[in-house]
Amino acid sequence: MNRLTLLSLGTVESRWIYLYVFILLPAVLQLLLLPIFPESPRYLLIQKNDEAGAKKALQTFRREEDVSEELEEIKAEEQRQRDIKTVSVNQILRNPHVRWQMIVTCFIALSEYLCGISALYYYSNRLFTALGFDVELIPYVTLSLGAIELISTMIVGTVIERTGRRILLIVGYGGMAVLYILLTVTLVLQDKASWMPYLSVASVLAVIIFYGIGPGN
């Protein structure tokens, strides 16, 4: 067992239990800390009708004594919620003013699930094995995919307000579609040239980047 293997808990099956324990720690910490945090002011005022409790919670969060202005905002929000009329899905689909918004929203949600990123992650080990990577290095290559997605998502998060989500979705999904075609071609032709496997790896990495640009945000 080399040094790299020792550094990764996910490469040895007997150590997987430590990964689950590591995930459990934040949850336990949250459960221990939750009782000392006050309830949501909006929940206390709107749901519980507890104005005194909501005021106390706001004072705790804001570190200010005078929170009357925010209390009034919450009351105004409660009044707006009471004035809102609930409608059925059928009524929404029949309303031409919101029908397309709902269709677009559903289409975007479905596209995120059907864009193939989960399959790419799931089969990444087999893919890199087929491309000739050292078996001991494959888990670290797979981990690098997650790191690339995280970095690209963080970078895009800083510009999303200036560019708008629409252009990012178009660029993200469009880039992924082109790269999936390129990846398919390189996998079929990987025995035709010595550099073809490297192009396949580059395509996988680029797909992750474009996912972070569009669907990942």
Residue-by-residue DSSP string for 86-123: P--HHHHHH-HHHHHHHHHHHHHHHHHHHSSHHHHHHT
How confident is the prediction for the chain on average, in pLDDT?
81
Q: Is residue 23 part of a domain?
A: no
What is the distance between the alpha carbons of residues 135 and 1, in angstroms, rounded to a whole number? Answer: 12
Predicted pLDDT at 65:
84
Give residues with Cβ within 8 angstroms of 54, minimum separation 6. Answer: 41, 42, 44, 45, 71, 74
Predicted pLDDT at 177:
92
Q: Is residue 34 part of a domain?
A: no
Pair 46, 74: CB distance under 8 Å: yes
**Shared-domain flag, residues 122 and 216:** yes
Predicted pLDDT at 10:
56
Q: Is residue 46 part of a domain?
A: no
State which residues form the domain around 135.
115-217
What backbone torsions phi and psi does residue 128 show, to the nearest 5 degrees? -70, -30
Give residues with Cβ within 8 angstroms of 59, minimum separation 6. Answer: 65, 67
**Shared-domain flag, residues 122 and 175:** yes
Predicted pLDDT at 181:
93
What is the distance between the alpha carbons of residues 208 and 115, in angstroms, rounded to a whole number? Answer: 11
Q: Is residue 216 part of a domain?
A: yes
**Shared-domain flag, residues 127 and 205:** yes
Quote the DSSP letter at residue 65: S
**Shared-domain flag, residues 123 and 108:** no
Predicted pLDDT at 7:
44
pLDDT tens digits along 144-192: 888 888 888 888 888 887 888 888 889 889 999 999 999 889 888 888 8
What is the distance between the alpha carbons of residues 146 and 156, in angstroms, rounded to a whole number? Answer: 15
Residue 214, judged by CB atoms within 10 A of its CB (0-12, 13-18, 19+), counts as buried
Predicted pLDDT at 4:
40
Predicted pLDDT at 11:
57
Looking at this protein, which amino acid is placed at residue 187? L
Q: Tell whether the torsion through CA atoms of 88, 94, 99 and 102 is positive or negative.
A: positive
Predicted pLDDT at 12:
62
Predicted pLDDT at 8:
53
Residue-by-residue DSSP string for 167-203: HHHHHHHHHHHHHHHHHHHHHHTTTT-TTHHHHHHHH
Q: Is residue 170 part of a domain?
A: yes
Q: Based on the structure, what is the number of domains in the chain?
A: 2
pTM (two decimals): 0.61
> In which residue ranges of the chain is pLDDT below 50?
1-7
